[in-house]
Structure 1
Amino acid sequence: MAPKNAFYAQSGGVTAVINASAAGVIETARKHGDRIGKVFAGRNGITGALKEELIDTSHETDDEIRALIHTPGGAFGSCRHKLRNIDENRHEYERLIEVFRAHDIGYFFYNGGGDSQDTAFKVSQMAERMGYPLNCIGIPKTVDNDLPFTDCCPGFGSVAKYVATSTLEASLDIQSMCDTSTKVFILEVMGRHAGWIAAAGGLAGKNPGDAPHIIVFPEHPFEREAFLNKVDQCVKDHGFCVVVASEGAQYEDGRFLAEAGQKDAFGHTQLGGVAPTLANMVKQSLGHKYHWAVADYLQRSARHIASQTDVEQAYAVGEAAVNYALEGRNGIMPIIKRESSDPYRWHISEAPLNEVANQEKKMPIHYTTDEGFGITADCRAYLEPLIQGEAFPPFEKGLPKVAKLENRPVEKKLKADFKL
């Protein structure tokens, strides 16, 4: 009997290291060619399976697959497409199984965050209902670091390193000019409901008075007067004030500071810029000259300053996903288990998808200071190992070299097109 093929797809916002997970999947599958046939990738995530737009990765050279480890973005395209409950949207799940059957796919690897793990779990349920043999393994990925069970999420360590570095460097810029120019700098970072990325900015300051002077977390209700008083006091004490603010900062009643009034494909509120909102507060109430910046896609695509720890973990969860599937495992996600912080040691374990799906891991309350504007020693001890090591990509003519995949399409076998 010929070995079954595998399907791998990337989902949600990409990271600097999601392609390292892809490399982990593809390279490991190639080592087991007697048990796994071809690895097909979904063009633009799960929608690639629904539309039968598959990519045959067997056409890529070993060198190009290896180059994925130092290539940011999503090599096969990602998407924000949420599969609803099976009973409400049965036709999409039936379509997936139809495509998998047509292309003899027996392994399903879905690389993403909480919503993506929910998708992987539901696909495993539907395959079981329809009597189709399919090993479904979720692969963790999210810069927000909010998946449960795992010590950290691949993608987070590199964002944390970028944000901490940017905060340190920008603070030196502001400090050098504050006597005659800018006195307040605000850096907006990602983090809808969990302040892990904002907390990483706190790694830039190790001594009292070091920047960042204020961190605005989504876990702490925002109080305008307390924030402005803190800014003003910092300017008086240090001559300047550096703020790292999570995009998900919200008032006590749950309103986001920067709600744009729209929702994304997953039903999440679209956020519209907390940094300019805070800057306007400073201008109107204190009159200090300010600058603000939004890290936005830069923070999650900055492969040039990725954490070596993060790269290694991203590859490891992709590798583990294939090994678990070959063991006949189903409905699980590889996770990272911390053994010690100093020195940092970890190993791969597993968690059931039905418990991972749609769960958010927020920062423990003891990771933030009593006033809610800084991180504690416990938080620093958790974060510091995750940004360790440099994994610089190769450079050519001053710019990073990245993988150049052919992404050849697989010939369609089903006649009917599928409308999303």
Structure 2
Amino acid sequence: MSKKNAFYAQSGGVTAVINASACGVIQTASQYPEQIGKVYAGLNGIVGALREELIDVSQESEETIAALRHTPSGAFGSCRYKLKSLEQNRAEYERLIEVFKAHDIGYFFYNGGGDSADTCLKISQLSEKMGYPIQAIHVPKTVDNDLPLTDNCPGFGSVAKYVAVSTKEAALDVASMCATSTKVFIVEVMGRHAGWIAAAGALAQEQEGDAPHIILFPEIAFDKEKFLAKVQDTVEQHGFCVIVASEGAQYADGTFLADAGTTDAFGHKQLGGVAPTLATMIRSELGFKYHWALADYLQRAARHIASATDVEQAYAVGKAAVEAAIAGKNAIMPTIVREQGDEYRWHIGEAPLDQVANVEKMMPREYISEDGFGITDAGRAYLAPLIQGEDYPPYANGIPRYARLKKAMVEKKLADTFEI
């Protein structure tokens, strides 16, 4: 393939380490000047390509690009926008090819989760059919840890660390006040249909009886009577009860405990409100005083407590994506492969996108305790290495210093605009 420019974009919910992947892509691309010309970034993901809103990454200093490694959120802007099939909306693909042609783009690096993998695959397949082949490489990212064919997903380890630490600290607070005040504390975490983030709360436990006392997984059908009995027994035994609840907790018939009644741009049900739902249930049935907290954006933006393992892996998949493209590969995703042995080691592998797109990886039953309220030794052995190590950002005046981008826009070459 002759020398072409590259297009990088971020998609879906951001993480504490997605910019470390961006750093890996940009810094590695600069090492191949004979194959890759400029690197452009989409302003707000794939939407930036459709609108021909491209950021000229070369206008950023080397120091700023390096600082992306310790900067949370999506530095270039993300989006929730899923491309329809070619038959449903050919105009979108024609527009993308038109923009890529206009700016001599031959490499496409899309940093996101399962839906982004689907978009990446479609662009790879359909661009060739439309006469302008694009090498499309998916860069994995999701706090939900639900991508298949990879041991874990960049972004998850840092959320897991945040949830474990926050659960431990909040539990100490509740324990100190439970004699005369709060008896039950509930923290609601993300995860959609998979319980990986909720499971990470168990890493706060050091010995028998430590919080969290109850974890609610989407994979285990919620049984109200069994749950309330567990809360009652825990309060009687320990004086208080700490619960980590996944937003995707659901009844046996598949109904979510907290269905917001809407869907996002990817067609997923909007979830949220499990904690207050459970709190109301506990108060009305058991009469205990409660508090609840919603980790929400805090859990995925907490770069100050990121896992060093997660940061390293996020950078590595960005680097590997570029190297795969240079090697002529297409429609693949770099993966994290856990090696055998007592000591945690990993290396980068790869998976075909047609086996990744729109597939969710759930918590294996063997990782969840028999009663459905905790994790097993196997679950702990899987989770524990992913939160290891600290990678603190630089601080100034007591506050982390994060990258600030110029976001210099590339001059548009197309006369028309595209409505989304």
Fold match by TM threshold 0.5: yes
> 1:366 maps to which residue?
366
**CA distance in structure 2 between the partners assigned to 1:408 and 1:387 by the alignment:** 36
Distance in 1 (alpha carbons) for counterparts of 2:208 and 2:131: 62
- Which residue identity is paired with 2:103? H
1:140 aligned partner: 140
Q: Does 1:127 align with 2:127?
A: yes
The aligned residue for residue 75 of structure 2 is 75
Once residues 320 and 18 of structure 1 are traced to their aligned partners in structure 2, the CA distance between those partners, rounded to angstroms, is 14
Note the alpha carbon deviations across 1:296-350, whole angstroms, 9 max, x for none.
0000000000000000000000000000000110000000000036311000010
Aligned residue in 2 for 1:382: 382
Deviations 1:261-315 (A, max 9, x none): 1111111111131000000010000000100000000000000000000000000
* Cα-Cα RMSD: 0.9
Equivalent in the alignment of 1:9: 9
Cα distance in structure 2, aligned partners of 1:242 and 1:201? 10
User: Contact 2:124 / 2:133 at 8 angstroms: preserved in 1?
Assistant: no
| Aligned AA (2:107) | Y
Q: Which residue of 2 aligns with 1:47?
A: 47
Q: Which amino acid aligns with 1:358?
A: N
Measure the CA separation in 2 of the matches of 1:348 and 1:297.
Answer: 29
Report which stretch shifted further, 67-76 or 80-89: 80-89
Aligned to 1:282, what secondary structure does the other structure show? helix
Tell me the equivalent position of 1:403.
Answer: 403
Note the 1:283-362 alignment, pairs <5 A: 283-340=283-340, 342-362=342-362
Greater alpha carbon shift after TM alignment, 132-141 vs 194-203:
132-141
Aligned to 2:195: 195
Partner residue in 2 for 1:179: 179
Unpaired segments ≥5 residues, structure 1: none
**Offset of residue 253 of structure 1:** 0.7
| CA deviations over 1:196-237 (Å, ceiling 9, x no partner) | 000000111132111000000000010111110000000000
Q: Partner of 1:87 in structure 2?
A: 87
Note the C-alpha offset of 1:94: 1.2
- Output the amino acid matched with 2:26: I
CA distance change for structure 1 residues 135 and 190 in 2, over 3 Å: closer, same or farther?
A: same
Contact 1:341 1:382 in 2 (8 A): no
Structure 1 segment 266-277 matched on structure 2, within 5 A: 266-277=266-277
CA distance in structure 2 between the partners assigned to 1:281 and 1:85 by the alignment: 43
* C-alpha contact 1:43 1:76 (8 A) present in aligned 2: yes
Aligned residue in 2 for 1:231? 231
3-state SS of 1:344 partner: coil
2:44 aligned counterpart, secondary structure: coil
Matched with 2:241 is 241
What is the aligned partner in structure 2 of residue 213 from structure 1? 213
* 1:340 counterpart SS class: coil
Tell me by how many angstroms 1:2 deviates: 7.1
Question: 2: distance between equivalents of 1:37 and 1:272?
Answer: 44
Q: Is the 8 A contact 1:2 1:37 kept in 2?
A: no
Kindly provide the amino acid, as one letter, of the partner of residue 190 in structure 2: M
Q: Deviations over 1:375-415 (max 9, x none)?
A: 00000000000000000000000000000110100000011
**Paired residue for 2:281?**
281
Q: CA deviation at 1:3?
A: 2.3
The amino acid across from 1:364 in the alignment is P
- Contact between 1:341 and 1:381, CA under 8 Å: does it hold in 2? no
Partners of 1:16 and 1:158 within 8 A in 2: yes
SS in 1 for 2:99: helix
- Say which SS state the counterpart of residue 393 (structure 1) adopts: coil
CA distance in 2, matches of 1:254, 1:94: 39
Q: Aligned partner of 2:303: which letter?
A: R
Q: In structure 2, how many angstroms separate the alpha carbons of the residues matched to 1:306 and 1:76?
A: 20
Q: TM-score, normalised by structure 1?
A: 0.99
Q: Which amino acid is the alignment partner of residue 403 of structure 1?
A: A
Structure 1 counterpart SS, 2:339: strand
What secondary structure, in the 3-state scheme, does the structure 1 residue paired with 2:228 have? helix
Alpha-carbon distance in 2 for matches of 1:259, 1:194: 15
Q: Is the 8 A contact 1:369 1:376 kept in 2?
A: yes
Instruction: After the TM superposition, list the runs of 4 or more consecutive aligned residues in structure 1 that deviate by more than 4 angstroms.
Output: none
- Which residue of structure 1 lines up, in the alignment, with residue 66 of structure 2? 66
> Counterpart of 2:124 in 1: which secondary structure?
helix
Indicate the SS of the match to 2:73: coil
2-structure distance, mates of 1:259, 1:342: 41
The answer for unaligned runs of 5 or more in structure 2 is: none
Size of the alignment, in residue pairs?
420
Offset from partner CA, 1:50-82 (integer Å, 9 cap, x none) = 000000000011110000000001000000001
Give 2:150's aligned residue.
Answer: 150
How far residue 125 of structure 1 moved from its aligned partner, in angstroms, is 0.8
Q: TM-score scaled by structure 2? A: 0.99
Do 2:160 and 2:201's aligned partners in 1 also have CA atoms closer than 8 Å? Answer: yes
SS of 1:245 mapped into structure 2: strand
Point out the more displaced range, 264-273 or 3-12.
Answer: 264-273
